Amino acid sequence: MAALLRRGDEVTVLTRDREKAAFPPEVTLIEGAPCYEGDWQKSIAGHDAVINLAGEPLDSERWTAIFRQKLHDSRVDTTRFVAEAIVNAPSDMRPKALLSASGVDYYGFAEVEAFDDDEIDESDPGGESYLAGLCWDWEDETRICSDLKVRVALMRTGVVLSNRGALPSLVAPFKKHCGGPIGTGRQWMSWIHIDDVAHAYLHILDSEVSGAVNIVAPVNIRNSDFAKVLGSVLGRHSWFRVPSFVIMKLIGQLGEYVLKGRRTVPAALLKSGYEFRHPELEPALRDLL
């Protein structure tokens, strides 16, 4: 949002609670619950583009049946109502583009070690895991916009490195001198610096790119190497390997996605001319830490 405001765009934000929302005064606030139909949908008409970032964080609770439903509704239902609002807007006031969040968990895991060096780009098929199915359903809700020639970009995002989210959790064990690889450490980590996430969205917003777009850094790294680099940046050893069974015990089914991965590459971004600000892991971590 800050990047949009800095360059002079007019920004409207949908918020559940206008009173608690902390946004700059230049931002227009619309109150509503995105998981439900409502008057907020009428506010989409007249905008040039819509950026849909809704989705319950994957690590906010253990994956009970109730929480899985929350993961689904916050992504699939929200995207359905956003897409319907775009389609139902008068043709002369209909947004020209929809940038809709998704995840690299759309793709299958690199299951066979002999082939786990294979790069995964936007042309690769979806996987069969729970999150792969969720991403498929999530993205499928945008289809009605594509059918009306609204440009749709599906922003399949990897592990975002920022001062919130995954990075503080990864850093914490190292600060206690017990950091290191997770499981075998062979799993690929498709990461990206938060600055590149913001600028990639701006780049796609201003381009004519449509379809799937992998929002990941161009240089993937295995978890064991990630641990070494992180330890070096923090001035800590990275010798303490966390066994797979401990991860599964601590975080349940989410652990499967921590212990496995795939070598996702940003083919569409690079082809469109995007230049990464933080293509290498060590400088990216030093910038944040």
**Listed residue (17, 25, 285, 23) closest to 161, CA to CA:** 285
Average pLDDT of the residues in 155-174: 94
**Listed residue (277, 278, 220) closest to 104, CA to CA:** 220
Domain membership flag for residue 11: no
Task: Give residue 179's pLDDT.
Answer: 92
Range of the domain at 65: 32-288
CA dihedral 81, 269, 277, 155 (to 10 degrees): 20
Domain membership flag for residue 82: yes
Task: Give residue 112's pLDDT.
Answer: 59
Strand 188-189 relative to strand 221-222, pairing: antiparallel
Exposed / middle / buried, residue 161 (Cβ in 10 Å: 0-12, 13-18, 19+): buried
Render pLDDT for 179-210 as a digit per residue (tens, 0 to 9).
999 999 999 999 999 999 999 999 999 999 99
Domain membership flag for residue 20: no
Region of poorest pLDDT, from 195-199, 206-210, 222-226, 255-259: 255-259
Task: Give residue 115's pLDDT.
Answer: 61
pTM > 0.85: yes or no: yes
Share of the chain above pLDDT 70, in %: 99
Look at residue 220 and tell me whether its pLDDT is greater than 80.
yes
Domain membership flag for residue 70: yes
Average pLDDT of the residues in 82-89: 97
Task: Give residue 165's pLDDT.
Answer: 87
Look at residue 28 and tell me whether its pLDDT is greater than 80.
yes
Domain membership flag for residue 22: no
Domain membership flag for residue 104: yes
Task: Give residue 21's pLDDT.
Answer: 83
Domains held by the chain: number: 1
CA 194/CA 143 separation, integer angstroms? 28
C-alpha distances in angstroms, 154 versus 43, 120, 138, 212, 267? 22, 16, 10, 5, 14
Task: Give residue 113's pLDDT.
Answer: 64
Backbone angles phi, psi at 102, to 5 degrees: -155, -170
Domain membership flag for residue 16: no
Domain membership flag for residue 263: yes
Question: Which residues contact residue 69 at a Cβ distance below 8 angstroms, ignoring those fewer than 6 apart?
Answer: none
Question: What is the residue-averaged pLDDT of the chain?
Answer: 94
In this structure, what CATH number is given to the domain that contains residue 95?
3.40.50.720
Share of the chain above pLDDT 90, in %: 83
